[in-house]
Structure 1
């Protein structure tokens, strides 16, 4: 034991000396090529003096980076996290200037702008050197992963011998998109898990995971899906945003106040804290899932919370390593440039469909694909190394890019390849965790391609509704603002939220003016002056042309309204009217929307906050196209196409999600499956017959 400790100590000293030596050489090289950076006096010094000066400066800079940097980052949590990322270069350069001033020779100096460059290069070189030296040393590799990851729990207690479970959500990645990416060789990690042939000789590896598609509810978006998955209920979540007459407010899933209220309602509805109540961690999600440790979680972005549940706590864990900060900042800048280049090429090639990608969007995309990804992955690594029982994390990179570039675009495919590398890293970290882990990868919804409703017809859904009501329509159609998870994450990081009255409270100027909201290709119309959900008969009496105008428009697939005669009624083109109790998949207005559409519509009709008029856009089953009511060419939120077909990628060691021949339908059923898997992982290690498990679960749910 003592000999092992001595060997580890000597090994650590050797690595530190090697990093110091490489940093010294790097500083000497930079001093030779940068005109505003010198390590000698104006009269010149001997080579020995210059070398000693460089060694001392490199050593002081390394100590300051290790000791002072984490303190600076903790203090700077008072400023927005995105601003912190932009301050990385300045802070690193400042530490270098301090190191040069503390040098006993007093001969070294650098211009401030040059110090920023020198500090960035030295941090990157030191990080690469340290990483290369510990690749073959499991103990050293594990210690380095601890420094890169979340260390909020400190020294972890002894872990039980049972499996931990990691649920990793790839936001917006549809089942078919995943299979296509695997077939193209873009996701080798997933391909290996599925047992797809690899290598030049097409070797067939043994599969370790099974891939299962599942079907979303009518509201195919992260708010409804993730609430159901994490908390077991997404009852009364009709869309991404909807108007609540009893409160006179617009509820929005990706607002902190909205997310907190939805989580409270789900908890009250189920009487249970959520999927992660037993030693769980929630990372980068809209909701906490009952986890006792949360970071980058939207539902706690506003309000006083403990140290371990601050929504931005994960930023400190990540940016406390200066090499991490430099690497992410450089990647952030590169991603901004990549987006500008890709959007410029799309304009020059006159690609269609296309939406605007100007303004702040390049920075939003870079935040989602670089900063959010790196911070969440580091937090997950820390959770596994700390031995947490259950972790649920969301990576929003693909969803953000697919909204603006298209779900099948090359831009989106490149994001999938980078996400696969994150999966490979997490798999590697799991080998060094104090307990075995089972990695489950899933998505909350897919995305359906198609141009926007406004681009095809020259008017927005709001304009069409106003025309049907006999109200004046603006000459220029207004854009429907797009709401995505990445934009919510940026606002949470910046602590900048729209004014409540402007975003969440509606004050109609006239009693007859409707509130028109969009959630992808799902539209909602509410009349705020009527306290109850209006019936078809009442709408016809007030606006005789409205329902006919909407139902017969070629860009609209079907409408759902309440009926005094039938209870609920689905309206379609050519005067089609089908009571909700008589709806059948593949028939009438739902003919093109696939299996499960009738049940999804019936369920939404039962929600207390269903809109007066629920509108689903046109869907072409031949190419999967829908028409988004928002400014998105890859959309989700309603029925139609790939958006309603996400995936569940689970280890073969766990029981099958459902019995053969059955469909996995709805986020609430996915929650029950994940609960079952947690019981299997943490309970006795005995064989479980999958079909019997599913049958028992069905009987329990029916009871």
Structure 2
């Protein structure tokens, strides 16, 4: 035992010395290549003296990185995330300048901008060397992982032996549809997924609710309900505020409502971890969780994930470098698409290259590192969201080469997680799933020359932009509004008809992909079809007959809720079935619309875009050529990829419908490992731990 400890200590010392030597050689090489970086005085020094100076500098830089970097990174967490990559380089360069000042005789000197470059190269080389030495020594690599896991479990007062019961890691590939995953596996884009499909996992499609977006799906998956979430963003008349699923205050409120409705904290309440999600799922271990981001004080641990990852300077430099490389990649790809004249296409300038780089590099790296840490700590359940594909698919298209390259990199992250699971203190079942897919198509504005908001305003007889006025749809809507108003006024004067109602507020139009919600804020309750016609006689007819709109949902005082559509279609919602006018949107569309119609905060007018089943395209009401949020095509068809050792999600050929059913399946799987690990109770009843 003593001999083994000495051997391990000797091996560790040798690796430290090896990294120090490589760093010293790197510093010497850079001093020879860069004119503004030197390791000797102006009078010149011997090669031996210069080498000693380099060794001092490399050692001081490494020591400062170990001691100062964690403290500095904690302070950096106060700055916006998009500035983090830039500050990482400046901080690393500052540490190098400080290290050069600590060299005896003051032989080292570098220009500030050169110091940034030297520090980045040295950190990258040191990280690569250390990783290579550890990985090639498989026993050392296993011991290191085991030691980390043991240390963490001891801090939590747990048994440090390997746990008999398996844990579960739920990895959400945001926005990846069932068809996209199948194609990526078949075409070799995702070899890890392909191997799982061929050997250890089963693939199950599932159907989203009408609101096919992360806010609704993930809330139900993690907390058991998405009741009263009609879209990604919506207006609430009783509170007078706009709810947006990816805003911290809205996410916190949605989570609170879900917990109140179900009676328990969520899927991850027992020894769980939530990473990169909109909601916590009841987990105690949190990183990058939006619903707690608005909190202040110790209760907000969401940004701790950044500290845990960037406290290693090598991680910081590697991710920062990849961040700027991704920015360049996006600029190159968007320029190429513009020169080729690709269609459909949207603008990808401004801050978007940096937003994309954050989603595809920074958030991915931090979330994956947090998941690996959870597995090493032996946590029971982990749920993590990887948003990279969804962000790129919105702007480049869900089937684009840009999006496929993102899937390639995500597949490598899955392979890493699977590899690390071989060294964790308990076995792990890896479940892969998505929250929705994406449907391609030109934007509504791109196809018709005006936004839906412009069309609504034109149908109400309100002023619109000059560009919208010149469009065919805008001109027709304004002409219809004028004609209808003149007719109503004429009837009032000649036939004594009732007075035409004058609206006291402008409509609020909110887009959620290819789903839009129109609300009239001056009326506290849901406005009826008859009241809308009295205010704006041409509005509903203008919207329902527009070629870019598939159908409308409104409430009628006489007929109950109605679905309106092209050709004067008016059908009571209660009479709709899968063979009716909504059949083109897929099985279950009528039920999905009926469910949303029952929500307290359903809008006065719900608008779903057209869907072409031959091309699979929709029209997003916002600037996206890959969209989701409503009904139509691949956006409503996510997937669930689960290990064969778990029970089948559904049996007897049944279909998995709605995110709430997905929650029930995931909860069942957690309980299949040696008894209940999370409380189980019917919706609306308080659950007690099993």
Normalised to the residue count of structure 1, the TM-score between the two structures is 0.89
| Residue 521 of structure 2 is aligned to residue 524 of structure 1 | no
What residue is the counterpart of 1:486 in the other structure? Answer: none
How does 1:77-96 map onto structure 2 within 5 Å? Answer: 77-96=77-96
Are the structure 2 counterparts of residues 682 and 566 from structure 1 closer, same or farther at C-alpha, using a change threshold of 3 Å? farther
Say if 2:179 is the partner of 1:176. yes
Identify the range of structure 1 (78-87 vs 672-681) with the bigger mean alpha-carbon deviation. 78-87
Distance (whole Å) between structure 2 residues aligned to residue 153 and residue 564 of structure 1? 62
1:573 aligned partner:
566
* Whole-angstrom distance in 1 between the partners of 2:596 and 2:513: 16
Cα distance in 1 between the residues matched to 2:136 and 2:503: 72
Residue of structure 1 equivalent to 2:607: 615
* 1:98 shift after superposition: 1.3
Partner of 1:639: 631
Distance, in Å, in 2 between the alignment partners of 1:412 and 1:294 is: 28
2:568 corresponds to 1:601: no
> Where do 1:151-162 residues align within 5 Å?
155=155, 157-158=158-159, 160-162=163-165
CA 1:44–1:510 in structure 2 vs 1: closer, same or farther (change >3 Å)? farther
Aligned to 2:608, the other structure's residue is in SS state strand
Q: How far does residue 286 in structure 1 lie from its aligned partner after superposition?
A: 0.5
Is the CA contact 2:670–2:676 (under 8 Å) kept in the aligned structure 1?
no
Classify 1:255/1:559 alpha carbon distance in 2 versus 1 (closer, same or farther; 3 Å): same
* Aligned 8 A contact 1:162 1:683 in 2: no
Using a 3 Å threshold, how does the CA distance of structure 1 residues 152 and 630 change in structure 2: closer, same or farther? farther
C-alpha distance in structure 2 between counterparts of 1:100 and 1:289, whole Å: 48
More displaced stretch, 91-100 vs 225-234: 91-100
> Partners of 2:347 and 2:238 in 1: how far apart?
36
Report what 2:295 is aligned to.
Answer: 303
Return closer, same or farther for 1:154/1:525 CA change in 2, 3 Å cut-off: farther
How has the CA–CA distance of structure 1 residues 476 and 523 changed in structure 2, closer, same or farther, with 3 Å as cutoff?
same
CA distance in 1, matches of 2:31, 2:458: 70
CA distance in 2, matches of 1:423, 1:294: 20
* Equivalent residues, number: 646
Change (3 A) 1:152 1:554: farther
Counterpart Cα distance in 1 of 2:452 and 2:229? 21
**TM superposition shift of 1:139:** 5.5
Q: How does 1:152-551 map to 2 (within 5 A)?
A: 155=155, 157-158=158-159, 160-195=163-198, 207-306=199-298, 309-477=300-468, 511-551=504-544
User: Aligned residue for 1:66?
Assistant: 66
* SS in structure 2 of the partner of residue 438 of structure 1: strand
TM-superposed deviation, 1:258:
0.5
CA 1:154 to 1:239, structure 2 compared with 1: closer, same or farther past 3 Å?
Answer: farther
- Looking at structure 2, the residues matched to 75 and 145 of structure 1 have their Cα atoms a distance apart, in angstroms, of 28
Residue of structure 2 equivalent to 1:50: 50
Across the aligned residues of Structure 1 and Structure 2, the Cα RMSD in angstroms comes to 2.2
- Secondary structure (helix, strand or coil) at the match of 1:214 reads strand
Structure 2 CA distance for partners of 1:398 and 1:365, relative to 1, 3 Å: same
How many angstroms apart in 2 are the aligned matches of 1:510 and 1:14? Answer: 80
2: CA distance, partners of 1:148 / 1:433: 10
Aligned to 2:553: 560
Q: Measure, in 2, the Cα distance between the counterparts of 1:321 and 1:383.
A: 17
The one-character-per-residue Cα deviations of 1:14-58 (angstroms, maximum 9, x if unpaired) are 111111111111111111111121112222222221111111211
- Classify 1:677/1:514 alpha carbon distance in 2 versus 1 (closer, same or farther; 3 Å): same
Q: Rg larger in 1 or in 2?
A: 2
CA distance in 2, matches of 1:421, 1:394: 15
Distance 1:514 1:143, change over 3 A: farther
CA shift for structure 1 position 85: 2.1
CA distance in 1, matches of 2:521, 2:245: 20
User: What is the match of residue 504 of structure 1?
Assistant: none
How big is the shift at 1:144? 6.2
Is 2:652 aligned against 1:652? no
Counterpart of 1:35 in structure 2 is: 35
Rounded to whole Å, the distance in 2 between the matches of 1:684 and 1:237 is 29
Deviations 1:456-515 (A, max 9, x none): 11111111111222222221349xxxxxxxxxxxxxxxxxxxxxxxxxxxxxx9624211
User: 1:77-107 deviations in whole A, cap 9, x for unaligned?
Assistant: 2323332321111111111111111112322
Secondary structure of the residue that 1:291 maps to in structure 2?
Answer: coil
Distance 1:623 1:28 in 2: 60
The CA deviation at 1:227 is 0.3
Q: What is the DSSP-based 3-state SS (H/G/I as helix, E as strand, rest coil) of the residue aligned with 2:552? A: strand
Whole-Å separation in 1 of the counterparts to 2:176 and 2:550? 24
In 1, Cα distance between the equivalents of 2:293 and 2:466?
39
CA–CA distance in structure 2, aligned partners of residues 165 and 511 of structure 1 = 54
* Structure 1 SS opposite 2:672: helix
1:514-534: CA deviation from partner (whole Å, max 9, x where unpaired) = 111110000111111111111
Distance in 2, Cα, partners of 1:86 & 1:116: 10
Contact 2:452/2:621 (CA < 8 Å) preserved in 1?
yes
- 1:323-362 Cα distance to aligned partner (Å, 9 max, x none): 1111111101110000001111111111110111011110
- 3-state DSSP class of the match of 2:590? helix
Asked if 2 retains the 8 angstrom alpha-carbon contact of 1:148 and 1:324, the reply is: no
Displacement of 1:302 in angstroms is 1.0
Deviation at 1:681, TM superposition (A): 2.5
Contact 2:82 2:355 in 1 (8 A): no
Q: Which moved more, 1:100-109 or 1:520-529?
A: 100-109
User: Cα 1:268–1:114, aligned 2, differ >3 Å: closer, same or farther?
Assistant: same
The 3-state SS of whatever aligns with 1:365 is helix
Q: 8 Å contact 1:148–1:378 — kept in the other structure?
A: no
Stretch of structure 1 that moved more, 122-131 or 459-468: 459-468
1:163 is paired with a residue whose SS is strand
CA contact under 8 A between 1:131 and 1:144: conserved in structure 2? no
| Residues 164 and 682, structure 1, Cα contact 8 Å, conserved in 2 | no
Residues 1:462 and 1:621: Cα distance change in structure 2 (over 3 Å)? same
**Distance in 2 of aligned mates of 1:402 and 1:154:** 43
Deviates more, 1:70-79 or 1:398-407: 70-79
Q: Which moved more, 1:643-652 or 1:427-436?
A: 427-436
Q: Which deviates more from structure 2 when the two are superposed, residues 520-529 or residues 104-113?
A: 104-113
